[in-house]
Amino acid sequence: MTSVQQPLHSIEDRLRGLRCCWDRYVAQGSLEQFIEFTVAINSLAEYFNRLRLPGLVRLCEGLENAALTQLGNETSHPIAPQHIASLQRQIEALFGSVQTSRPVNVERRTHEPAPVSDIDWIKPRSVWIIAASGQRELAQTLRGKLQFFGFKIFELEWSAENPPEDIPLAVLFLPQSVQAGPMEFAYITKIRTCCPASQLIYLGEQASIEPIVMLMRAGIDSAMPADQQSLMVLNCIFDLVKTGQPEKYRVLVVEDSRVATAVVQRTLSQHGIDTYAISEPAKLLEALESYRSDLILMDMYMPRFNGVEATRVLRQMPAYHALPIVYLSGESAVAMQVEALRLGGDQFLSKPFNPVLLAAVVKSKIERYRDTQRSTRLDGLTGLINHTGAKSGLKALVERAAQNGGLTHGSLTVAMIDIDHFKSINDTYGHPVGDQVIRGLAWLLKARLRTVDLIGRYGGEEFIVALPDVTPEQAGAVIDRIRADFSALPHAHPHGVLHANFSAGMASFPTYDTEAALIEAADGALLQAKRLGRNRVEVAS
Protein backbone atom coordinates (compact mmCIF):
# COMPACT_ATOMS: atom_id res chain seq x y z
CA MET A 1 0.00 0.00 0.00
CA THR A 2 0.94 3.64 -0.27
CA SER A 3 2.04 5.77 2.65
CA VAL A 4 -0.42 6.86 5.33
CA GLN A 5 -2.94 9.37 4.07
CA GLN A 6 -3.24 12.78 5.72
CA PRO A 7 -6.49 13.50 7.58
CA LEU A 8 -9.27 14.72 5.29
CA HIS A 9 -11.07 17.83 6.54
CA SER A 10 -13.68 18.65 3.89
CA ILE A 11 -16.17 16.80 1.77
CA GLU A 12 -14.23 17.87 -1.32
CA ASP A 13 -11.06 16.31 0.13
CA ARG A 14 -12.86 13.05 0.87
CA LEU A 15 -14.46 12.81 -2.57
CA ARG A 16 -11.17 13.69 -4.22
CA GLY A 17 -9.40 11.00 -2.20
CA LEU A 18 -11.99 8.40 -3.19
CA ARG A 19 -11.70 9.39 -6.85
CA CYS A 20 -7.88 9.19 -6.74
CA CYS A 21 -8.00 5.69 -5.21
CA TRP A 22 -10.39 4.54 -7.91
CA ASP A 23 -8.44 6.12 -10.77
CA ARG A 24 -5.20 4.50 -9.54
CA TYR A 25 -6.88 1.11 -9.44
CA VAL A 26 -8.39 1.49 -12.92
CA ALA A 27 -4.97 2.48 -14.29
CA GLN A 28 -2.89 -0.23 -12.53
CA GLY A 29 -5.30 -2.87 -11.25
CA SER A 30 -3.50 -4.15 -8.13
CA LEU A 31 -5.31 -5.78 -5.20
CA GLU A 32 -3.73 -3.37 -2.70
CA GLN A 33 -5.08 -0.39 -4.63
CA PHE A 34 -8.56 -1.95 -4.64
CA ILE A 35 -8.34 -2.41 -0.85
CA GLU A 36 -7.44 1.29 -0.51
CA PHE A 37 -10.46 2.18 -2.64
CA THR A 38 -12.75 0.03 -0.47
CA VAL A 39 -11.35 1.55 2.71
CA ALA A 40 -11.96 5.05 1.28
CA ILE A 41 -15.63 4.19 0.64
CA ASN A 42 -16.02 2.85 4.17
CA SER A 43 -14.48 6.02 5.60
CA LEU A 44 -16.79 8.23 3.52
CA ALA A 45 -19.84 6.25 4.70
CA GLU A 46 -18.76 6.75 8.30
CA TYR A 47 -18.33 10.49 7.69
CA PHE A 48 -21.85 10.83 6.29
CA ASN A 49 -23.20 8.73 9.16
CA ARG A 50 -21.65 11.11 11.72
CA LEU A 51 -23.34 14.02 9.94
CA ARG A 52 -26.68 12.12 9.96
CA LEU A 53 -27.09 12.05 6.16
CA PRO A 54 -28.82 8.68 5.76
CA GLY A 55 -29.43 8.83 2.03
CA LEU A 56 -25.75 9.38 1.28
CA VAL A 57 -24.85 6.65 3.77
CA ARG A 58 -27.05 4.24 1.82
CA LEU A 59 -25.36 5.11 -1.48
CA CYS A 60 -21.93 4.62 0.10
CA GLU A 61 -22.96 1.29 1.60
CA GLY A 62 -24.28 0.10 -1.76
CA LEU A 63 -20.99 1.03 -3.42
CA GLU A 64 -19.02 -0.58 -0.57
CA ASN A 65 -21.00 -3.84 -0.81
CA ALA A 66 -20.38 -3.97 -4.55
CA ALA A 67 -16.65 -3.41 -3.94
CA LEU A 68 -16.47 -6.04 -1.20
CA THR A 69 -18.00 -8.57 -3.60
CA GLN A 70 -15.06 -8.01 -5.95
CA LEU A 71 -12.58 -8.07 -3.07
CA GLY A 72 -13.25 -11.69 -2.16
CA ASN A 73 -11.18 -13.30 -4.92
CA GLU A 74 -7.58 -12.12 -4.67
CA THR A 75 -6.63 -13.65 -8.04
CA SER A 76 -9.30 -11.80 -10.02
CA HIS A 77 -7.59 -8.39 -10.13
CA PRO A 78 -7.84 -6.31 -12.15
CA ILE A 79 -11.59 -7.01 -12.24
CA ALA A 80 -13.49 -7.45 -15.48
CA PRO A 81 -14.38 -4.37 -17.57
CA GLN A 82 -18.12 -4.84 -16.94
CA HIS A 83 -17.55 -4.76 -13.18
CA ILE A 84 -15.40 -1.63 -13.52
CA ALA A 85 -18.18 0.02 -15.54
CA SER A 86 -20.77 -0.96 -12.91
CA LEU A 87 -18.71 0.49 -10.04
CA GLN A 88 -18.04 3.61 -12.11
CA ARG A 89 -21.81 4.18 -12.48
CA GLN A 90 -22.31 3.86 -8.73
CA ILE A 91 -19.46 6.30 -8.06
CA GLU A 92 -20.98 8.87 -10.42
CA ALA A 93 -24.40 8.43 -8.79
CA LEU A 94 -22.87 9.04 -5.36
CA PHE A 95 -20.98 12.14 -6.50
CA GLY A 96 -24.08 13.50 -8.20
CA SER A 97 -26.21 13.02 -5.08
CA VAL A 98 -23.62 14.79 -2.92
CA GLN A 99 -23.60 17.81 -5.21
CA THR A 100 -27.40 18.08 -5.40
CA SER A 101 -27.78 17.59 -1.64
CA ARG A 102 -25.43 20.32 -0.47
CA PRO A 103 -27.41 23.32 0.83
CA VAL A 104 -26.78 26.85 -0.36
CA ASN A 105 -27.76 30.27 1.00
CA VAL A 106 -27.80 29.02 4.57
CA GLU A 107 -28.95 31.49 7.22
CA ARG A 108 -26.30 32.02 9.89
CA ARG A 109 -26.96 31.91 13.63
CA THR A 110 -27.21 35.17 15.56
CA HIS A 111 -23.75 34.79 17.09
CA GLU A 112 -21.18 33.38 14.74
CA PRO A 113 -19.35 30.23 15.80
CA ALA A 114 -15.59 30.19 15.63
CA PRO A 115 -14.28 28.69 12.38
CA VAL A 116 -13.78 24.93 12.59
CA SER A 117 -11.68 23.57 9.73
CA ASP A 118 -13.04 20.03 9.74
CA ILE A 119 -16.76 20.94 9.67
CA ASP A 120 -17.79 21.67 6.11
CA TRP A 121 -21.36 20.44 5.80
CA ILE A 122 -23.79 23.16 6.91
CA LYS A 123 -27.18 21.69 7.72
CA PRO A 124 -30.30 23.03 5.99
CA ARG A 125 -33.01 24.32 8.32
CA SER A 126 -36.10 23.39 6.29
CA VAL A 127 -38.58 20.58 6.90
CA TRP A 128 -41.19 19.13 4.53
CA ILE A 129 -44.49 17.92 6.00
CA ILE A 130 -46.35 15.55 3.68
CA ALA A 131 -49.79 15.14 5.24
CA ALA A 132 -52.90 13.23 4.23
CA SER A 133 -56.23 15.10 4.39
CA GLY A 134 -57.14 13.58 7.76
CA GLN A 135 -53.88 14.72 9.37
CA ARG A 136 -54.22 18.50 8.95
CA GLU A 137 -54.52 19.19 12.68
CA LEU A 138 -51.31 17.29 13.52
CA ALA A 139 -49.57 18.92 10.55
CA GLN A 140 -50.53 22.40 11.79
CA THR A 141 -49.34 21.58 15.33
CA LEU A 142 -45.98 20.37 14.08
CA ARG A 143 -45.68 23.31 11.70
CA GLY A 144 -46.28 25.84 14.49
CA LYS A 145 -43.74 24.25 16.84
CA LEU A 146 -41.04 23.82 14.21
CA GLN A 147 -41.49 27.37 12.91
CA PHE A 148 -41.18 28.77 16.42
CA PHE A 149 -37.82 27.02 16.77
CA GLY A 150 -36.55 28.54 13.53
CA PHE A 151 -37.30 25.90 10.89
CA LYS A 152 -38.65 26.73 7.43
CA ILE A 153 -41.69 24.52 6.75
CA PHE A 154 -43.13 23.32 3.44
CA GLU A 155 -46.46 21.46 3.48
CA LEU A 156 -47.20 19.04 0.64
CA GLU A 157 -50.03 16.72 -0.36
CA TRP A 158 -49.37 13.01 -0.70
CA SER A 159 -48.31 12.30 -4.30
CA ALA A 160 -47.45 15.96 -4.99
CA GLU A 161 -45.75 16.01 -8.40
CA ASN A 162 -43.51 19.05 -7.90
CA PRO A 163 -41.80 19.10 -4.50
CA PRO A 164 -39.91 22.28 -3.50
CA GLU A 165 -36.37 22.77 -4.80
CA ASP A 166 -35.15 23.58 -1.27
CA ILE A 167 -33.39 20.44 0.03
CA PRO A 168 -34.85 19.68 3.49
CA LEU A 169 -33.18 18.60 6.69
CA ALA A 170 -36.06 16.16 7.23
CA VAL A 171 -39.29 14.99 5.59
CA LEU A 172 -42.25 14.10 7.83
CA PHE A 173 -44.85 11.71 6.38
CA LEU A 174 -48.31 11.86 8.00
CA PRO A 175 -50.36 9.06 6.38
CA GLN A 176 -54.14 8.70 6.22
CA SER A 177 -54.16 5.24 7.83
CA VAL A 178 -51.84 3.18 10.01
CA GLN A 179 -51.21 0.58 7.31
CA ALA A 180 -49.06 1.88 4.44
CA GLY A 181 -49.85 0.54 0.98
CA PRO A 182 -48.16 0.34 -2.45
CA MET A 183 -48.97 3.97 -3.33
CA GLU A 184 -47.39 5.22 -0.10
CA PHE A 185 -44.31 3.05 -0.62
CA ALA A 186 -43.89 4.33 -4.19
CA TYR A 187 -44.15 7.97 -3.14
CA ILE A 188 -41.71 7.51 -0.27
CA THR A 189 -39.22 6.00 -2.74
CA LYS A 190 -39.70 8.98 -5.04
CA ILE A 191 -38.99 11.44 -2.21
CA ARG A 192 -35.96 9.42 -1.13
CA THR A 193 -34.56 9.68 -4.66
CA CYS A 194 -34.86 13.47 -4.78
CA CYS A 195 -33.72 13.97 -1.15
CA PRO A 196 -30.83 11.51 -0.71
CA ALA A 197 -29.29 13.33 2.26
CA SER A 198 -32.50 14.07 4.18
CA GLN A 199 -33.94 12.21 7.18
CA LEU A 200 -37.27 10.59 6.24
CA ILE A 201 -39.62 10.14 9.22
CA TYR A 202 -42.93 8.26 9.06
CA LEU A 203 -45.49 9.14 11.76
CA GLY A 204 -48.18 6.71 12.84
CA GLU A 205 -46.90 3.24 11.96
CA GLN A 206 -47.98 0.36 14.15
CA ALA A 207 -45.36 -1.03 16.51
CA SER A 208 -44.53 -4.29 14.72
CA ILE A 209 -41.48 -5.34 12.75
CA GLU A 210 -42.79 -6.28 9.30
CA PRO A 211 -44.51 -2.99 8.30
CA ILE A 212 -41.56 -0.96 9.60
CA VAL A 213 -39.14 -3.11 7.55
CA MET A 214 -41.27 -2.42 4.45
CA LEU A 215 -41.10 1.32 5.14
CA MET A 216 -37.32 1.14 5.58
CA ARG A 217 -36.99 -0.68 2.26
CA ALA A 218 -38.93 2.14 0.62
CA GLY A 219 -36.52 4.72 2.09
CA ILE A 220 -37.83 5.65 5.56
CA ASP A 221 -35.16 6.19 8.21
CA SER A 222 -37.37 6.07 11.30
CA ALA A 223 -41.03 5.19 11.98
CA MET A 224 -42.72 6.63 15.06
CA PRO A 225 -45.90 5.46 16.81
CA ALA A 226 -48.94 7.69 17.08
CA ASP A 227 -48.50 8.65 20.74
CA GLN A 228 -45.96 11.30 21.79
CA GLN A 229 -45.20 12.16 18.16
CA SER A 230 -44.56 15.87 18.72
CA LEU A 231 -42.01 15.14 21.44
CA MET A 232 -40.22 12.45 19.42
CA VAL A 233 -40.18 14.49 16.20
CA LEU A 234 -38.71 17.58 17.82
CA ASN A 235 -36.04 15.58 19.62
CA CYS A 236 -35.16 13.76 16.39
CA ILE A 237 -34.89 16.96 14.33
CA PHE A 238 -32.83 18.82 16.93
CA ASP A 239 -30.43 15.87 16.99
CA LEU A 240 -30.09 16.18 13.20
CA VAL A 241 -29.08 19.83 13.46
CA LYS A 242 -26.04 18.92 15.55
CA THR A 243 -23.20 18.91 13.03
CA GLY A 244 -20.27 19.36 15.38
CA GLN A 245 -17.40 16.98 14.67
CA PRO A 246 -17.19 14.35 17.43
CA GLU A 247 -13.99 13.80 19.34
CA LYS A 248 -11.54 11.67 17.41
CA TYR A 249 -11.55 7.93 18.15
CA ARG A 250 -8.44 6.84 20.08
CA VAL A 251 -6.99 3.32 19.94
CA LEU A 252 -4.13 1.92 22.02
CA VAL A 253 -2.21 -0.72 20.04
CA VAL A 254 -0.36 -3.30 22.16
CA GLU A 255 1.79 -5.20 19.66
CA ASP A 256 5.43 -6.34 19.71
CA SER A 257 5.71 -6.64 15.91
CA ARG A 258 6.78 -3.41 14.19
CA VAL A 259 5.31 -4.56 10.88
CA ALA A 260 1.93 -5.43 12.39
CA THR A 261 1.88 -2.15 14.31
CA ALA A 262 2.62 -0.15 11.15
CA VAL A 263 -0.16 -1.91 9.21
CA VAL A 264 -2.70 -1.36 11.99
CA GLN A 265 -1.82 2.31 12.42
CA ARG A 266 -1.91 2.95 8.67
CA THR A 267 -5.30 1.26 8.33
CA LEU A 268 -6.88 3.16 11.19
CA SER A 269 -5.31 6.45 10.12
CA GLN A 270 -7.10 6.16 6.79
CA HIS A 271 -10.35 6.22 8.78
CA GLY A 272 -9.35 9.25 10.84
CA ILE A 273 -8.72 7.16 13.97
CA ASP A 274 -5.89 8.26 16.25
CA THR A 275 -3.53 5.54 17.54
CA TYR A 276 -0.77 5.14 20.11
CA ALA A 277 1.38 2.00 20.10
CA ILE A 278 3.43 0.23 22.78
CA SER A 279 5.46 -2.92 22.27
CA GLU A 280 5.69 -4.05 25.89
CA PRO A 281 2.52 -5.04 27.78
CA ALA A 282 4.24 -4.13 31.05
CA LYS A 283 3.74 -0.47 30.03
CA LEU A 284 -0.02 -0.93 29.48
CA LEU A 285 -1.26 0.79 32.65
CA GLU A 286 1.12 3.69 32.20
CA ALA A 287 -0.04 4.15 28.59
CA LEU A 288 -3.72 4.02 29.56
CA GLU A 289 -3.15 6.64 32.24
CA SER A 290 -1.61 9.13 29.80
CA TYR A 291 -3.55 8.22 26.62
CA ARG A 292 -7.34 8.33 26.97
CA SER A 293 -8.06 5.30 24.82
CA ASP A 294 -11.52 4.25 23.57
CA LEU A 295 -10.33 0.74 22.69
CA ILE A 296 -7.31 -1.55 23.00
CA LEU A 297 -6.05 -3.65 20.10
CA MET A 298 -4.13 -6.40 21.89
CA ASP A 299 -1.78 -8.97 20.44
CA MET A 300 -2.36 -12.42 22.00
CA TYR A 301 1.31 -13.42 22.37
CA MET A 302 3.90 -10.95 23.66
CA PRO A 303 7.03 -11.03 25.81
CA ARG A 304 6.69 -11.89 29.54
CA PHE A 305 2.89 -12.43 29.51
CA ASN A 306 0.11 -12.76 26.94
CA GLY A 307 -2.83 -10.56 26.03
CA VAL A 308 -5.37 -12.63 27.96
CA GLU A 309 -3.39 -12.20 31.19
CA ALA A 310 -3.14 -8.45 30.60
CA THR A 311 -6.89 -8.29 29.99
CA ARG A 312 -7.65 -10.15 33.22
CA VAL A 313 -5.65 -7.55 35.14
CA LEU A 314 -7.50 -4.65 33.46
CA ARG A 315 -10.92 -6.15 34.14
CA GLN A 316 -10.19 -6.01 37.87
CA MET A 317 -9.83 -2.21 37.70
CA PRO A 318 -13.06 -0.15 37.72
CA ALA A 319 -11.65 2.47 35.33
CA TYR A 320 -11.08 -0.16 32.60
CA HIS A 321 -13.84 -2.63 33.41
CA ALA A 322 -15.87 -1.73 30.28
CA LEU A 323 -13.07 -0.58 27.95
CA PRO A 324 -13.35 -2.59 24.69
CA ILE A 325 -10.47 -5.00 24.01
CA VAL A 326 -10.03 -6.60 20.59
CA TYR A 327 -7.44 -9.36 20.16
CA LEU A 328 -5.21 -9.56 17.10
CA SER A 329 -3.45 -12.89 16.64
CA GLY A 330 -2.50 -15.66 14.27
CA GLU A 331 -4.07 -18.10 16.77
CA SER A 332 -6.41 -20.43 14.85
CA ALA A 333 -7.49 -22.78 17.66
CA VAL A 334 -11.16 -22.15 18.42
CA ALA A 335 -10.73 -23.29 22.05
CA MET A 336 -8.07 -20.61 22.66
CA GLN A 337 -10.21 -17.92 21.02
CA VAL A 338 -13.23 -18.83 23.14
CA GLU A 339 -11.09 -18.79 26.29
CA ALA A 340 -9.72 -15.36 25.36
CA LEU A 341 -13.24 -13.96 24.97
CA ARG A 342 -14.48 -15.64 28.14
CA LEU A 343 -11.74 -14.01 30.17
CA GLY A 344 -12.61 -10.44 29.21
CA GLY A 345 -11.99 -9.81 25.50
CA ASP A 346 -14.68 -8.35 23.25
CA GLN A 347 -13.68 -9.73 19.85
CA PHE A 348 -11.01 -11.83 18.17
CA LEU A 349 -9.52 -10.96 14.75
CA SER A 350 -7.11 -13.33 13.07
CA LYS A 351 -3.92 -12.20 11.33
CA PRO A 352 -3.60 -11.32 8.52
CA PHE A 353 -6.70 -9.19 9.00
CA ASN A 354 -8.96 -7.56 6.42
CA PRO A 355 -8.40 -3.78 6.82
CA VAL A 356 -12.05 -2.98 6.09
CA LEU A 357 -13.20 -5.46 8.73
CA LEU A 358 -10.66 -4.17 11.26
CA ALA A 359 -11.83 -0.58 10.84
CA ALA A 360 -15.50 -1.61 11.02
CA VAL A 361 -14.97 -3.61 14.22
CA VAL A 362 -12.97 -0.82 15.88
CA LYS A 363 -15.53 1.87 15.03
CA SER A 364 -18.58 -0.17 16.06
CA LYS A 365 -17.00 -1.13 19.41
CA ILE A 366 -15.99 2.47 20.14
CA GLU A 367 -19.41 3.85 19.18
CA ARG A 368 -21.18 1.48 21.56
CA TYR A 369 -18.67 2.18 24.31
CA ARG A 370 -19.12 5.93 23.91
CA ASP A 371 -22.91 5.59 23.81
CA THR A 372 -22.78 3.71 27.10
CA GLN A 373 -20.48 6.31 28.64
CA ARG A 374 -22.63 9.14 27.29
CA SER A 375 -25.88 7.69 28.67
CA THR A 376 -24.57 8.19 32.20
CA ARG A 377 -24.06 11.90 31.48
CA LEU A 378 -27.44 12.73 29.87
CA ASP A 379 -30.63 14.00 31.45
CA GLY A 380 -33.51 11.63 30.69
CA LEU A 381 -36.21 14.31 30.32
CA THR A 382 -34.44 16.79 28.01
CA GLY A 383 -31.58 14.85 26.43
CA LEU A 384 -29.18 17.57 27.59
CA ILE A 385 -26.07 16.75 29.59
CA ASN A 386 -26.79 16.39 33.29
CA HIS A 387 -25.33 18.17 36.33
CA THR A 388 -22.16 16.06 36.42
CA GLY A 389 -21.60 16.24 32.67
CA ALA A 390 -22.17 20.00 32.62
CA LYS A 391 -19.60 20.67 35.34
CA SER A 392 -17.09 18.41 33.59
CA GLY A 393 -17.69 20.12 30.23
CA LEU A 394 -17.40 23.59 31.77
CA LYS A 395 -14.13 22.64 33.45
CA ALA A 396 -12.74 21.60 30.04
CA LEU A 397 -13.85 24.92 28.51
CA VAL A 398 -12.20 26.89 31.32
CA GLU A 399 -8.96 24.96 30.85
CA ARG A 400 -9.07 25.73 27.14
CA ALA A 401 -9.76 29.41 27.83
CA ALA A 402 -6.81 29.55 30.24
CA GLN A 403 -4.42 28.33 27.58
CA ASN A 404 -2.62 30.96 25.53
CA GLY A 405 -4.78 31.58 22.47
CA GLY A 406 -7.28 28.94 23.61
CA LEU A 407 -10.26 31.13 22.72
CA THR A 408 -10.62 33.65 19.90
CA HIS A 409 -11.90 36.46 22.13
CA GLY A 410 -10.18 35.18 25.26
CA SER A 411 -13.62 35.02 26.85
CA LEU A 412 -16.09 32.43 28.09
CA THR A 413 -19.49 33.38 29.48
CA VAL A 414 -21.58 31.16 31.76
CA ALA A 415 -25.31 31.67 32.33
CA MET A 416 -27.39 30.04 35.05
CA ILE A 417 -31.06 29.95 34.01
CA ASP A 418 -34.05 29.21 36.25
CA ILE A 419 -37.74 29.00 35.23
CA ASP A 420 -39.77 31.51 37.25
CA HIS A 421 -42.56 30.30 39.58
CA PHE A 422 -42.06 26.72 38.44
CA LYS A 423 -43.54 25.20 41.61
CA SER A 424 -46.73 27.13 40.91
CA ILE A 425 -46.85 25.66 37.40
CA ASN A 426 -46.55 22.12 38.79
CA ASP A 427 -49.13 22.77 41.53
CA THR A 428 -51.64 24.36 39.16
CA TYR A 429 -51.31 22.29 35.98
CA GLY A 430 -49.60 19.08 37.15
CA HIS A 431 -46.15 17.61 36.68
CA PRO A 432 -46.67 16.45 33.04
CA VAL A 433 -47.26 20.08 32.02
CA GLY A 434 -44.25 21.13 34.13
CA ASP A 435 -42.15 18.57 32.26
CA GLN A 436 -43.41 20.02 28.98
CA VAL A 437 -42.29 23.51 30.04
CA ILE A 438 -38.82 22.18 30.93
CA ARG A 439 -38.57 20.39 27.56
CA GLY A 440 -39.72 23.55 25.78
CA LEU A 441 -36.86 25.55 27.26
CA ALA A 442 -34.40 22.75 26.44
CA TRP A 443 -35.56 22.73 22.80
CA LEU A 444 -35.34 26.51 22.59
CA LEU A 445 -31.77 26.49 23.91
CA LYS A 446 -30.84 23.81 21.36
CA ALA A 447 -32.45 25.81 18.56
CA ARG A 448 -30.92 29.18 19.43
CA LEU A 449 -27.40 28.17 20.48
CA ARG A 450 -24.45 26.80 18.53
CA THR A 451 -23.06 23.29 18.51
CA VAL A 452 -19.92 24.60 20.25
CA ASP A 453 -21.94 25.96 23.18
CA LEU A 454 -22.45 23.91 26.33
CA ILE A 455 -26.10 23.37 27.35
CA GLY A 456 -26.98 21.35 30.45
CA ARG A 457 -29.83 20.71 32.83
CA TYR A 458 -28.29 21.63 36.14
CA GLY A 459 -31.14 20.28 38.23
CA GLY A 460 -34.94 20.60 38.44
CA GLU A 461 -35.96 23.69 36.47
CA GLU A 462 -32.42 25.12 36.40
CA PHE A 463 -30.16 25.10 33.33
CA ILE A 464 -26.53 26.02 32.70
CA VAL A 465 -25.19 27.47 29.44
CA ALA A 466 -21.59 28.24 28.51
CA LEU A 467 -20.74 30.30 25.40
CA PRO A 468 -17.09 30.28 24.29
CA ASP A 469 -15.43 32.57 21.76
CA VAL A 470 -17.90 35.46 22.10
CA THR A 471 -17.66 38.69 24.06
CA PRO A 472 -19.70 39.04 27.28
CA GLU A 473 -21.85 41.65 25.52
CA GLN A 474 -22.66 39.24 22.67
CA ALA A 475 -23.42 36.47 25.13
CA GLY A 476 -25.74 38.75 27.10
CA ALA A 477 -27.64 39.73 23.96
CA VAL A 478 -28.11 36.07 23.00
CA ILE A 479 -29.38 34.99 26.44
CA ASP A 480 -31.75 37.96 26.66
CA ARG A 481 -33.15 37.18 23.20
CA ILE A 482 -33.76 33.56 24.28
CA ARG A 483 -35.50 34.90 27.42
CA ALA A 484 -37.87 36.97 25.27
CA ASP A 485 -38.53 34.04 22.92
CA PHE A 486 -39.26 31.70 25.82
CA SER A 487 -41.81 34.17 27.22
CA ALA A 488 -43.67 33.92 23.90
CA LEU A 489 -43.54 30.11 23.69
CA PRO A 490 -47.01 28.58 24.30
CA HIS A 491 -47.24 25.42 26.43
CA ALA A 492 -50.42 23.41 25.92
CA HIS A 493 -52.47 21.98 28.80
CA PRO A 494 -55.94 20.39 28.92
CA HIS A 495 -57.71 23.75 29.32
CA GLY A 496 -55.66 25.90 26.94
CA VAL A 497 -52.10 27.23 26.91
CA LEU A 498 -49.81 28.87 29.42
CA HIS A 499 -46.70 31.00 29.11
CA ALA A 500 -43.66 30.86 31.38
CA ASN A 501 -40.62 33.07 31.98
CA PHE A 502 -37.10 32.54 33.17
CA SER A 503 -34.49 34.57 35.01
CA ALA A 504 -30.75 34.30 34.30
CA GLY A 505 -27.47 35.28 35.86
CA MET A 506 -24.20 35.59 33.93
CA ALA A 507 -20.48 35.59 34.71
CA SER A 508 -17.47 35.64 32.40
CA PHE A 509 -13.90 34.40 32.22
CA PRO A 510 -11.28 35.74 32.93
CA THR A 511 -13.02 37.88 35.61
CA TYR A 512 -13.85 34.53 37.23
CA ASP A 513 -11.14 32.09 36.32
CA THR A 514 -12.32 28.69 37.58
CA GLU A 515 -15.33 26.52 36.87
CA ALA A 516 -16.51 26.81 40.50
CA ALA A 517 -16.07 30.61 40.55
CA LEU A 518 -18.02 31.05 37.30
CA ILE A 519 -20.94 28.95 38.56
CA GLU A 520 -21.00 30.70 41.96
CA ALA A 521 -20.90 34.16 40.41
CA ALA A 522 -23.56 33.35 37.79
CA ASP A 523 -25.75 31.82 40.52
CA GLY A 524 -25.40 34.99 42.58
CA ALA A 525 -26.44 37.08 39.59
CA LEU A 526 -29.42 34.77 39.07
CA LEU A 527 -30.56 35.37 42.66
CA GLN A 528 -30.25 39.10 42.03
CA ALA A 529 -32.47 38.76 38.93
CA LYS A 530 -35.07 36.98 41.06
CA ARG A 531 -34.93 39.73 43.71
CA LEU A 532 -35.36 42.44 41.06
CA GLY A 533 -38.64 40.99 39.80
CA ARG A 534 -37.76 37.93 37.66
CA ASN A 535 -37.96 37.52 33.84
CA ARG A 536 -34.65 39.34 33.41
CA VAL A 537 -30.90 38.75 32.90
CA GLU A 538 -28.37 40.06 35.41
CA VAL A 539 -24.56 40.11 35.14
CA ALA A 540 -22.24 39.36 38.06
CA SER A 541 -20.33 42.43 39.19
List CB contacts of 176: < 8 A, sequence separation 6 or more. 132, 133, 134, 135, 158
The per-residue pLDDT for 178 is 67
Instruction: Specify the pLDDT at position 117.
Output: 34
Sign of CA dihedral 295, 250, 40, 198: positive
Specify the pLDDT at position 331.
63
Taking 70 as the pLDDT cut, the residues of the chain under it are 1-10, 72-75, 100-124, 178, 205-207, 226-231, 242-246, 331-333, 404-410
Q: Helix-strand-coil percent breakdown of the chain, rounded to 5? A: 50, 15, 35
Task: Spell out the long-range contacts of 64-67 with Cβ–Cβ below 8 A and sequence spacing 24 or more.
Answer: 64/38, 64/356, 66/90, 67/34, 67/37, 67/38, 67/41
In this prediction, residue 105 carries a pLDDT of 41
DSSP 489: -
Q: Residue 113: what pLDDT?
A: 41
User: CA angle at residue 131 from 125 to 132, to 5 degrees?
Assistant: 175
Q: Which helix (H) or strand (E) holds 9?
A: none
Global pTM value: 0.68
pLDDT digits (tens, 9 = 90+) for 67-98: 888 876 656 788 888 989 999 999 998 888 88
Average pLDDT, the chain: 82
Compute the Cα dihedral for 415, 419, 421, 426 and give only its sign: negative
Give the tens place of pLDDT for each residue, 199-240: 899 987 666 788 888 888 898 988 887 655 666 788 788 777
